[in-house]
Structure 1
Amino acid sequence: MTTWRWCDSPKRIAAESGLELEKFEMVPTSPTASCRDVGNGVFSYRDNGLAVLVDWYTRRILRAGLDLSSETLDGWYFNTRALQQCRKLKITPGNVVASLEDSDAFPAKNGHTLYRGTFDVLVHEGKGRVVSVGAVNTLSSSILRQAIPRGSGGTPVGSMPRDVNDLLKRARRAGLAVSKSGAGHYKIWESGTPGAGRSVVIPSTGSDRRGMMNNIVEIRSAFGIDLRRL
């Protein structure tokens, strides 16, 4: 096991994250870490939401902190409060973003969405911003546009569509009409009749989480219908 020596500044910054220093020391030797050769024996590592810069010749940690890169956070931006809450919970923003995949999503006030799963995560979808993070079932229900129905196990009911076909099925179930556009995309019509009234265009691709969430938000904004609840 490699013994690392810490420079004062990275040690202080790493400590401010609320995580044990040992977690940072494990990053350079993690089999899942990404590595970039900076030169002269210096390497940059990223793994599990952490970023570490080390000098292998002197066995020194030159820089250490949370990995807030767009790639790691799937394009999400964490405001100051959300980062502080992550430190208090002793988790990384990367842990929070990873939890969104298996969380139930519910419409909240002022264009926000509450994800409830491993954690409670309040986000502003349109701005790609994580606003608040808490332990599960701790964020106030007052932020929601409506109460969260609960199953027998106490878990919120609601889910993201699995893919575009699932989204279109839910749209039809809600009384919306679906038609195919000339560009190969789909149009969802509020009136229930193709070609009549307002419509929203849905790409035939884009079943990844961010693409699907954009579809959900656009339909909710246009028609006031949240397809995650169907």
Structure 2
Amino acid sequence: MADDASTPYALTDPEKLLQPSVLFIEDDPRIGAITSEILGEHYRVDWVTTGAEGRSRLFGMTYDVAIVDRRLPDADGLELVREARGSGITTPVLMLTALGSVDNIVEGLDYGANDYLTKPFHFEELEARLRALLRGYRAEQKSYDIGDWRLLPQSGMIESPDLQRVTLTRAECTLLTTLCSSPQHVFSRAELLRIVFSESDTEGTIDTYVSYIRQKTTRHIIDTVRGHGYIIGEPRD
């Protein structure tokens, strides 16, 4: 199954937390397995095989870059990218496809893809293109406003209303960024375990890190939705 190939964040592997995260949407089991294994040396790869699951991950989680196959069993990868761009998702996208004509490439770029790589491809080229996308994306220094606070994911900092910067751990920053990526979504503890830590950890891990973040910032930086999970707050300090 695709989830078996994904690499979760793990408290026991802090070096892995520093690697860029990749959403890989590819239905071919051979290409998916080999590519995930090779990229897994330098990236945290989340491999899924359908457009529906890819959409759920792209819209509900935070990734540094996405690789999207053009022809999926239940969707057109271009439509998925266009929908993401229309929803304000700026994750850089590398379109992966066997359709390599100039018209196909232009269409992919017009739909919102940042780059286009045709099959078959060399893994060295794939990794070079990913590095280029990441350099451009990180140069933008994306930030999130959380009420009167501002999260700066690339620097691992959160800025208070009086412009004091607080340093977050990688896990704390990833947890906050995940919540910020879908501000209207209530994340269950199980979702957050899968995204930020590991499904082998207990749900109490989430509660512990929410407490850490609140202690460093303010109580309402993250709101508890009783019986459901957590949602990003709107603190006004």
Asked which structure has the greater CA Rg, the reply is: 1
More strand by share: 1
> TM-score normalised to the size of structure 2?
0.26
More helix by share: 2
Bigger relative contact order (CA 8 A; separation at least 6): 2
